[in-house]
Amino acid sequence: MYARAENLNWIEDESNQDLSFDRNFIRQKVVPVIAERWTDYCPRVAHSAALCGESDQLAEILAAQDLIAVYERAERIGWSIALDPMMTLDYLRQGNLLRHWAGQHGLPQPGHKVVETILHELLPAREDAEPLVIWAGVQLRRFHRRLYLLPVDLEAPDQLPATIEWCAGEVLSLPDNSQLSMTLEQGKGLKLSRGDTVEIRFRAGGERCKPLGRSRSNSLKKLFLEYGLEPWLRNRIPLIYIQDQLAAVGDLWVCDEFSVGESEAGFAIEWRFPQ
């Protein structure tokens, strides 16, 4: 109408007349009937849309407040929230929080069925279970009374090399896209010189070591439980070997005999996943 009134030329898309498209069917067949029966349908629809928009804004504000209350923190991979305060929220707020949480990190929001699965199956699962819900490449897991939002595929590569050489002081990219780096620090870290080469291996089973300050060695399985390393990271954490002996486990701990003294400088390790 505006274009005609102003004598403007336009190009008509021939698909606009194709009633197989829902938008065209509604515009040409449904809207005229509504307009004939309810002549004031335009302001009514606009009013309803405004109310829906306000409801969405209120839901976002409430979810942002709830996200603060569940103590979100960044993890080695993804983010986590505390499960106990989340469980005090009612059902609708829990679902609202889950959708907001994913959206805050640019991830696809879970749909209705996924939220139902999370609330009815993942959250109430046994304490010793390792429940998992996946949607659109996103994973939601539970561990140590926290809920983990994980934006990546956590399966370790099928073929991991037996060993990878790593030159002290350099950044090393691993097959699962994680990275190892070293920084020289006083009184902590590995006893190495810049340019020394160490070996990176992965769990094969049966590994043991004695972390700095311990009186005896323990299995990695037991130490992972003690240090609270998430189960989905245990088979992919890099093990640092010096002269065929386990010297450090990722950035969790350095084995006693390979640690520098307080008056020495050592290489502190960082193992991280780019977000």
Q: Is the CB of residue 97 less than 8 Å from the CB of residue 66?
A: yes
**Averaged pLDDT, 208-217:** 88
pLDDT band at 171 (very low <50, low <70, confident <90, very high): very high
Looking at residue 273, what DSSP letter applies?
-
Q: Domain range spanning residue 31?
A: 2-39
Q: Give the residue, 176 or 115, on which the prediction is more confident.
A: 115
Tell me whether residue 256 is exposed, middle or buried, using C-beta atoms within 10 angstroms of its C-beta: 0 to 12, 13 to 18, 19 or more.
middle
| Helix, strand, coil % in the chain, rounded to nearest 5 | 35, 25, 40
Could you tell me which of 136, 154, 148 has the C-alpha nearest to residue 98?
Answer: 148
Is-contact 266 169, C-beta < 8 A? no
**pLDDT score recorded for residue 165:** 93
Query: Residue 251: is its pLDDT beyond 90?
Result: yes
Report pLDDT for 193: 80
- Top-confidence range, 35-39, 158-162, 166-170: 166-170
CA separation for the pair 228, 134 (Å, rounded):
23
Residue 274 has pLDDT above 90, yes or no: no
Please check whether residues 92 and 176 belong to one and the same domain.
no
What is the number of structural domains in the chain?
3
Whether 76 and 130 share a structural domain: yes
Shared domain for 31 and 87, answered yes or no, is no
Q: What does the DSSP 8-state code read for residue 27?
A: I
Query: Coil, strand or helix: which one is 234?
Result: coil
How much is the pLDDT for 195?
80
Rounded CA separation 198/240 (Å): 7
Q: Is residue 223 part of a domain?
A: yes
CA atoms within 13 A on the CB side of 157: 11
Residue 220 lies in a domain: yes
Segment among 42-46, 145-149, 195-199 with least mean pLDDT = 42-46
The answer to whether position 46 is within a domain reads no
Q: Are residues 189 and 258 in the same domain?
A: yes
61 inside domain: no
Same domain, 32 and 85: no
Longest alpha-carbon distance in the chain: 90
Contact 166, 172 (CB under 8 A): yes
146 and 171 in a common domain: no
Which structure tokens are listed for 11?
A: 């190009």
Residues 141, 108 share a domain: yes
Q: Is the pLDDT of residue 152 over 90?
A: no
CATH number of the domain that residue 71 is part of = 1.20.59.20
135 near 146, Cβ under 8 Å?
no
Residue 248 falls inside a structural domain: yes
Last residue of a domain, one of 115, 150, 185: 150
When pLDDT is cut at 50, 70 and 90, the band that residue 4 belongs to is confident
Would you place residue 227 in the very low, low, confident or very high pLDDT band (cuts 50, 70, 90)?
Answer: very high
Q: For residue 54, is it within any domain? A: no
How far is the C-alpha of 26 from the C-alpha of 30, rounded, in Å? 5
Does 231 score more than 70 pLDDT? yes
Closest of 257, 218, 252, 223 to residue 76, by C-alpha? 252
Q: Looking at this protein, which amino acid is placed at residue 166?
A: W
Same domain? 202 vs 263: yes
Higher pLDDT, 27 or 239: 239
The confidence band for 148, taking pLDDT boundaries of 50, 70 and 90, is very high
Token pair for residue 101? 């949480």
Alpha-carbon distance values, 203 to 38, 62, 158, 240, 249 (Å): 71, 44, 13, 11, 10
Whether the pLDDT of residue 156 is over 70: the answer is: no
Tokens of 232: 């989905």
